Amino acid sequence: MAVERTLSIIKPDATERNLTGLIIARLEAAGLRVVAQKRVLWKKKDARKFYDVHKDQPFFKDLINFMTSGPIVIQVLEGEDAIAKNRAVMGATNPVDAAPGTIRKDFAVNLQRNSVHGSDSPANAKREIALCFKKSEIVG
């Protein structure tokens, strides 16, 4: 294991329900450290660029509408094995399949409104962090 960085997003369904602090507490309790953070409202073009990998999926348009429907909190998380650790704390994409005690099991509304995003690989973590933050905005 090595110290890694991963990109996390607290999605509009969670900011709307004022769950930002509860979700960050879960991440910190798991040993992840917030080394960059901002609350923003994405334009459609921002969301399309971020989720470009899903552009051919049937859910793409709905996903873009959802991710631009309200404020999001974007973070860089740092820690041992941070990419896999964050995915474990998040739980499965569909909350119906998520393990007990995970963020998605406890907070997600449904498959789309599933409260959090987390990078799924070192290559995607690097791409997503570079897309969302300047180097000078990340303070470890």
Say if CB 33 and CB 80 are below 8 A apart: no
The binder of ligand IDP chosen from 117, 128, 132, 133 (CB under 6 A): 117
Which of Mg ion, ligand IDP, none lies near 37, with the C-beta cut-off 5 to 8 A by kind?
none
Which residue in 117, 125, 132, 133 is the catalytic one? 117
15 belongs to the binding site for ligand IDP (CB under 6 A): no
Pick one of Mg ion, ligand IDP, none as the site partner of residue 114 (Cβ within 5 to 8 A by kind). ligand IDP
In the annotation, is 117 catalytic? yes
Answer for which of 5, 95, 114, 128 binds ligand IDP (CB under 6 A) is 114
Residue located via tokens 């973590």? 125
Residue 120 is a binding residue for ligand IDP (CB under 6 A): yes
Q: Which residues are catalytic, by number? A: 117
Question: Footprint of ligand IDP on this chain (CB under 6 A)?
Answer: 54, 59, 63, 93, 111-112, 114, 117, 120
